[in-house]
Amino acid sequence: MITNLLRDNIRNLKPYSSARDEFEGNASVWLDANECPAALPNLPEGINRYPASQLQGLKDEIAKVKGVKLSQVFIGNGSDEAVDLLMRCFCQPATDKILVFPPTYGMYGVCAAVNDVSVIESILDNDFNINIKDFEENNMQRPKLTFICNPNNPTANMQNAETVRQIIEKSTGIVVVDEAYIDFCPDKSIISWINKYPNLVVLQTLSKAWGLAAARVGLAFASPQIISVMNRVKFPYNVGKPSIDIALKALQQDDEMIRRTKELIDNKNRLASELKSLQMVQKVYPSDANFLLVKFDNARQAYSKLASNGIVVRDRSTQPGCEGCLRITVGTREEVETLLNCLNDLNADNADFTDNRR
């Protein structure tokens, strides 16, 4: 039972009941929440009111778009909120553990450290796939949460669905599958598995393909048991009304999101093939996301050259298995062009240097 996995204090938690939770029905005079009766001029209408009912509306829309039930949807202040909430719901500080598969998204480890939860690491193999034997050994320590980032950040690859299934079935705790980049490979989502596995949580976000990173809207999908606990523990008004309104507007433009996503994938494929032709590039890893992990002869040199031309990429060379690797986000066609021109210059510089030494 999922409830057995919860921390005792959370299992027994009586949630905060807000003004808007306690009144049902129609009203026109709202004097229950100590709000200001009117917004200042030139601000969005309704900004003076707490946004309880709006979140309900967004939840309806998300449930529709994702093909799940309302009771299976959690909306957070970014999916990072969901990561932290899950830790606070399930992991007893100084006692419980989580399991991660490095190299992977850094927030799992940071949230664990903040919550005084220790981290078991099962390192990915040379192709950045999960080693199921190694998982099984580590799983004997009974981690409360196991995080699978799929597609994985920073390696950009997807784990095989069968591997993910085995982990969900073998885990004695909750398995969190972080699908932050799934809109770039939507056919590979396992969101429908929440109907089968009560210990599965799927995270998604509007920060990446939907283009709403600044709005801070993250999503978690799971069994109603888990979702209701998350809703009890979260802050009452965790997502602001401007963000809710913007998210609703974005969700109405799903055709345009899909069109742009395809364009980004075209840019990615072009970027990947051009990078592969560069002398200084050793490897471009396969990607199901909107970024590429690229192994350079000299990552520091490439990073500096790009930076001095005002192009910022992410140096991942200190991550396990990522020696010499930069993570490059796919931008517009023009941005991809600018990046490639800069690396071509560097390639030419290096060739001159080699020639001069001969």
* Residue ranges binding ligand PLP (CB under 6 A): 78-80, 105, 149, 153, 178, 180, 205, 207-208, 213, 218
CA separation (Å) from 114 to 7, 79, 142, 178, 188? 16, 17, 20, 20, 32
Q: Which is nearer to ligand PLP, 96 or 183 (CB)?
A: 183
**Smallest distance from the beta carbon of 297 to ligand PLP, in angstroms?**
27
Q: Which is nearer to ligand PLP, 129 or 329 (CB)?
A: 329
E-strand ranges in the chain read: 73-76, 97-100, 118-121, 145-149, 174-178, 200-205, 218-222, 281-284, 291-296, 314-315, 325-329
**Smallest distance from the beta carbon of 214 to ligand PLP, in angstroms?**
9
**Smallest distance from the beta carbon of 48 to ligand PLP, in angstroms?**
27
Q: Which is nearer to ligand PLP, 180 or 278 (CB)?
A: 180
Shortest Cβ contact with ligand PLP: which residue?
A: 78
Q: Which is nearer to ligand PLP, 198 or 211 (CB)?
A: 211
Find out whether 100 and 286 touch, Cβ atoms under 8 Å.
no
Task: Specify the DSSP element, H or E, that contains 302.
Answer: helix 299-308
Find out whether 177 and 190 touch, Cβ atoms under 8 Å.
yes
Q: Which is nearer to ligand PLP, 54 or 79 (CB)?
A: 79
Distance of alpha carbon 146 from alpha carbon 123, whole angstroms: 13
Find out whether 203 and 67 touch, Cβ atoms under 8 Å.
no
**Smallest distance from the beta carbon of 178 to ligand PLP, in angstroms?**
5
**Smallest distance from the beta carbon of 35 to ligand PLP, in angstroms?**
28
327: three-class secondary structure by DSSP:
strand
